[in-house]
């Protein structure tokens, strides 16, 4: 029985209005009802999910007309299960607008073997590192989130709500493990979410019942979430999700704002990007070129995890910008030298221990590294095969182009104030003229976000997040004036960086100075960059600092060196709470979101940071684990401040 009918059946079998009948799905209509019954019975008798055709037919009747439908599946099967969903969605004129399929399986690491899907995905299949990977189809209308981890871990790490669970594994362990799993499913479920399993899969029936699921009386493997009460959650980041009505106003047209416009478009939301300059990316994102790459850390803490997930997203975004938007750059790899030479064997062991695949990072001996980059390297290095360089303004433009008609640019429009008014958030210019109003605003205007927030905060309270401003200057020389420097074929980074020649220029840098507001390009900074270049390459080129050109910019950096993302905390309301232990408990300013604090990593972070911001606005599945989300959540500093207050008062 198709899923939509199932719910109706349990309500007493009332007739559905014709337009709502499950026969609307052509996938269902294509089968004769008798045949369909047989397939369903086979599926339940053996393994409900072993017959993917059956569950896909049911799914497509459940998603009819829905704006977003999220499927959580515990079986990978070389990608063929996802392919079935994709094909059913493509063939269904009554499909949901957005389909998200989340596949949880360690088998993902063995690669996509379903031929039609493998061909479609081609070289964009990611190196499977131990973090979620998002693949986008049909301009973002179908998204596939791969979670290469154990089922139990994934249930804890998922930040989403699920409309349909497809379970083919048996809940591991004893009755209490079964109860825990059923509770975890209930935590992700909406009222009315559906669960497909069989007698041989999923938690046991009593665990499902006590978690609030109701079983279809004629199908042991079909459950519907029907909680008898709605649990009282504390105020959660989910509460800040915004209505789908007016376009989202994005303040700032640098990498952050442009990427947010694209990520919103992928989730089906319109936006208006409001930028004070006459063109995009005129401030920090205006350097001629910059690097993107991951990092390796033996502890694999939040930085390494976020940089890894972000670098893989950046690689995809840059590859698209290069191939389809005429942007300058390269995704041909990048060498990273460490400050200390820990020796190749130790580096290799770290990669083995962390399970990082060679498609993401490799440890190279000095000899291998020299062969890769074409100049002498004297220590072992990290090699990021998908890292590289790009012109940031070009990348920003490509995001806007990819957002297409879903975004509108308003350049030459400086936002002086942000106020909460009865009809939404109002943006005004310096003369008090109303620029725009919307339920939803994203602060993607780097350090200026805090200035706009200040009047909304209690007078003596600390800032919503701490941001430090670090001046940076890059240096550039004509290749003919680079003093016989041996130039690398790929970017090299470490303490400082050097890019391969671009249009007859070499670019290297950069300085980092706190509390320095000087916008002029200084010879002293060029000399600093030259000294760094010598240490990085082991060469001492005869370059005259006075003949170098350069550019200055400001990195806005948090004290934990991670970005500020998602719903803006309501600091006023938070001050009144006695218990604040995690960001999910922090009250949020409704409809107000941040995407800022990119520090020295905006090129690497923009695509992933924007997806996280868009997910926090639309309620789409988060592309990172919830434990990592806590480390980049805009409300984390409010939690830390509350802990400090509690210690002081203890």
Ligand X SMILES: Cc1cc2nc3c(=O)[nH]c(=O)nc-3n(C[C@H](O)[C@H](O)[C@H](O)COP(=O)(O)OP(=O)(O)OC[C@H]3O[C@@H](n4cnc5c(N)ncnc54)[C@H](O)[C@@H]3O)c2cc1C
Residue ranges that bind ligand X, judged by CB under 6 A = 251-257, 274-277, 281-285, 287, 290-292, 392, 414-415, 444-446, 448, 472, 474, 509-510, 553, 555, 596, 598-604
Provide, rounded to whole angstroms, the least separation between the CB of residue 387 and ligand X.
10
Provide, rounded to whole angstroms, the least separation between the CB of residue 597 and ligand X.
8
From CA 320, how far away is CA 118, in angstroms rounded? 18
- 492, 373 Cβ separation under 8 angstroms: yes
From CA 238, how far away is CA 633, in angstroms rounded? 12
Structure tokens that stand for 550 in this block: 């350069």
Provide, rounded to whole angstroms, the least separation between the CB of residue 50 and ligand X.
45
> Which residue, 433, 466, 472, 432, is CA-closest to 449?
466
Provide, rounded to whole angstroms, the least separation between the CB of residue 75 and ligand X.
37
> Which residue, 636, 634, 609, is CA-closest to 292?
609
Provide, rounded to whole angstroms, the least separation between the CB of residue 468 and ligand X.
13
From CA 506, how far away is CA 478, in angstroms rounded? 6
- 251, 444 Cβ separation under 8 angstroms: yes
Residue number, 474 or 622, with CB nearest to ligand X: 474
Residue number, 70 or 291, with CB nearest to ligand X: 291
Residue number, 169 or 325, with CB nearest to ligand X: 325
180: left (phi over 0), alpha (psi -120 to 50) or beta: alpha
> Which residue, 143, 138, 401, is CA-closest to 261?
401
Q: Are strands 434-438 and 424-428 parallel, antiparallel or unpaired?
A: antiparallel
Provide, rounded to whole angstroms, the least separation between the CB of residue 295 and ligand X.
12
Provide, rounded to whole angstroms, the least separation between the CB of residue 602 and ligand X.
2
Provide, rounded to whole angstroms, the least separation between the CB of residue 575 and ligand X.
26
Residue number, 254 or 329, with CB nearest to ligand X: 254
CA torsion, ordered 345, 350, 355, 357, to nearest 10 deg: -60
Residue number, 160 or 493, with CB nearest to ligand X: 493
- 463, 450 Cβ separation under 8 angstroms: yes
- 467, 638 Cβ separation under 8 angstroms: no
From CA 134, how far away is CA 147, in angstroms rounded? 9
E strand intervals along 398-491: 407-410, 417-421, 424-428, 434-438, 441-443, 468-478
Residue number, 267 or 285, with CB nearest to ligand X: 285
Provide, rounded to whole angstroms, the least separation between the CB of residue 4 and ligand X.
44
User: What angle separates helix 302-324 from helix 392-403, to the nearest 10 degrees?
Assistant: 70
Please list, residue by residue across 146-155, b when 16 or more beta carbons sit within 10 angstroms of its beta carbon and e when fewer do.
Answer: bbbbebbebb
Q: Give the distance between the most distant pair of CA atoms in the chain.
A: 86
Residue number, 398 or 604, with CB nearest to ligand X: 604
Provide, rounded to whole angstroms, the least separation between the CB of residue 558 and ligand X.
12
Q: Are strands 441-443 and 588-596 parallel, antiparallel or unpaired?
A: parallel
Structure tokens that stand for 320 in this block: 């698209």
Residue number, 80 or 328, with CB nearest to ligand X: 328
Q: What are the angstrom distances between the C-alpha of 270 and each of 138, 248, 421, 494, 614?
A: 17, 6, 21, 40, 11
Provide, rounded to whole angstroms, the least separation between the CB of residue 55 and ligand X.
42
Residue number, 290 or 500, with CB nearest to ligand X: 290
Provide, rounded to whole angstroms, the least separation between the CB of residue 251 and ligand X.
5
Residue number, 5 or 418, with CB nearest to ligand X: 418
Burial zone of 302 (CB within 10 Å; 0-12 exposed, 13-18 middle, 19+ buried):
middle
CA torsion, ordered 364, 366, 368, 373, to nearest 10 deg: 100
Residue number, 165 or 399, with CB nearest to ligand X: 399
Residue number, 109 or 304, with CB nearest to ligand X: 304
> Which residue, 501, 458, 421, 385, is CA-closest to 123?
385
Residue number, 277 or 348, with CB nearest to ligand X: 277
Residue number, 167 or 334, with CB nearest to ligand X: 334
Instruction: Identify the helix (H) or strand (E) that includes residue 53.
Output: helix 52-62
> Which residue, 154, 166, 162, is CA-closest to 221?
166
Provide, rounded to whole angstroms, the least separation between the CB of residue 497 and ligand X.
7
User: What size, in residues, is the chain?
Assistant: 650
Residue number, 102 or 258, with CB nearest to ligand X: 258
Residue number, 415 or 622, with CB nearest to ligand X: 415
Provide, rounded to whole angstroms, the least separation between the CB of residue 384 and ligand X.
13
Provide, rounded to whole angstroms, the least separation between the CB of residue 112 and ligand X.
29
Provide, rounded to whole angstroms, the least separation between the CB of residue 1 and ligand X.
51
Tokens 């590192």 -> residue: 129
Residue number, 185 or 291, with CB nearest to ligand X: 291
> Which residue, 289, 284, 281, 286, is CA-closest to 258?
281
- 490, 371 Cβ separation under 8 angstroms: no
Burial zone of 405 (CB within 10 Å; 0-12 exposed, 13-18 middle, 19+ buried):
exposed
Provide, rounded to whole angstroms, the least separation between the CB of residue 31 and ligand X.
51
Q: What are the angstrom distances between the C-alpha of 177 and each of 134, 181, 204, 207, 214?
A: 29, 6, 10, 9, 19
Sign of the dihedral through C-alpha 150, 155, 161, 166: positive
């Amino acid at each position: 029985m198709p899923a939509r009918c199932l719910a109706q059946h349990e309500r007493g079998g009332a007739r559905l209005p014709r337009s709502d009948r499950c026969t609307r799905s052509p996938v269902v209509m294509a089968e004769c009802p008798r045949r369909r019954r047989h397939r369903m019975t086979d599926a339940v008798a053996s393994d409900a999910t072993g017959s993917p055709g059956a569950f896909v037919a049911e799914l497509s009747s459940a998603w009819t007309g829905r704006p977003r439908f999220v499927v959580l599946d515990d079986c990978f099967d070389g990608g063929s299960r996802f392919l079935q969903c994709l094909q059913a969605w493509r063939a269904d004129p009554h499909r949901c607008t957005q389909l998200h399929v989340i596949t949880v399986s360690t088998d993902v690491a063995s690669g996509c073997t379903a031929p039609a899907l493998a061909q479609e995905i081609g070289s964009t299949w990611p190196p499977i590192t131990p973090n979620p990977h998002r693949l986008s189809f049909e301009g973002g209308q179908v998204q596939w989130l791969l979670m290469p981890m154990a089922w139990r871990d994934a249930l804890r790490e998922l930040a989403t709500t699920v409309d349909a669970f497809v379970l083919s594994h048996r809940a591991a362990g004893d009755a209490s493990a079964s109860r825990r799993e059923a509770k975890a499913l209930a935590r992700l479920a909406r009222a009315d979410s559906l669960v497909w399993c069989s007698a041989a899969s999923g938690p046991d029936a009593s665990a499902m019942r006590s978690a609030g699921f109701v079983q279809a009386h004629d199908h042991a493997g079909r459950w519907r979430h029907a909680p008898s009460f709605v649990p009282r959650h504390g105020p959660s980041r989910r509460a800040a999700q915004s209505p789908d009505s007016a376009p989202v106003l994005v303040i700032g047209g640098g990498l952050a704002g442009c990427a947010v416009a694209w990520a919103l478009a992928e989730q089906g939301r319109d936006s208006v990007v409001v930028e004070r300059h006459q063109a995009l990316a005129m401030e920090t994102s205006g350097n001629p070129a910059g690097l993107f790459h991951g990092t390796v850390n033996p502890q694999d803490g939040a930085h390494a995890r976020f940089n890894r997930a972000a670098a893989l997203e950046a690689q995809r975004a840059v590859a698209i910008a290069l191939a389809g938007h005429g942007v300058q750059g390269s995704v041909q790899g990048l060498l990273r030298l460490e400050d200390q030479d820990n020796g190749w064997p130790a580096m290799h062991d770290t990669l083995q221990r962390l399970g990082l695949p060679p498609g993401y990072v490799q440890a190279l001996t000095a000899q291998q590294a020299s062969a890769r980059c074409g100049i002498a390297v004297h220590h072992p290095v990290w090699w990021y095969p998908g890292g590289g360089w790009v012109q940031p303004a070009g990348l920003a433009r490509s995001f806007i182009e990819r957002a297409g008609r879903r975004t509108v640019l308003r350049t030459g429009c400086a936002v002086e104030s942000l106020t909460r008014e009865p009809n939404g958030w109002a943006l005004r210019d310096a003369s008090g003229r109303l620029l725009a109003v919307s339920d939803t605003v994203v602060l993607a205007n780097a350090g200026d976000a805090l200035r706009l927030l200040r009047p909304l905060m209690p007078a003596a309270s600390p800032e919503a997040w701490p941001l430090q401003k670090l001046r940076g200057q890059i240096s550039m020389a004509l290749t003919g004036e680079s003093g016989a420097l041996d130039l690398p074929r790929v970017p090299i980074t470490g303490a400082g960086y050097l890019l391969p020649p671009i249009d007859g220029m070499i670019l290297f840098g950069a300085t980092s100075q706190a509390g320095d507001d000087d916008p002029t390009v200084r010879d002293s900074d060029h000399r600093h960059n030259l000294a760094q270049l010598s240490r990085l390459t082991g060469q001492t080129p005869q370059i005259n600092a006075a003949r170098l050109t350069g550019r200055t910019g400001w990195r806005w950096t948090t004290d934990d060196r991670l970005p500020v993302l998602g719903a803006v905390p309501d600091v006023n309301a938070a001050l009144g709470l006695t218990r604040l232990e995690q960001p999910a408990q922090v009250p949020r300013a409704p409809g107000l979101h941040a995407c800022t604090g990119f520090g020295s990593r905006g090129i690497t972070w923009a695509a992933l940071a924007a997806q996280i911001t868009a997910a926090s606005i639309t309620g789409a599945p988060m592309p990172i684990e919830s434990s990592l989300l806590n480390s980049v959540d805009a409300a984390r500093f409010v939690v830390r401040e509350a802990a400090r207050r509690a210690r002081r008062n203890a």
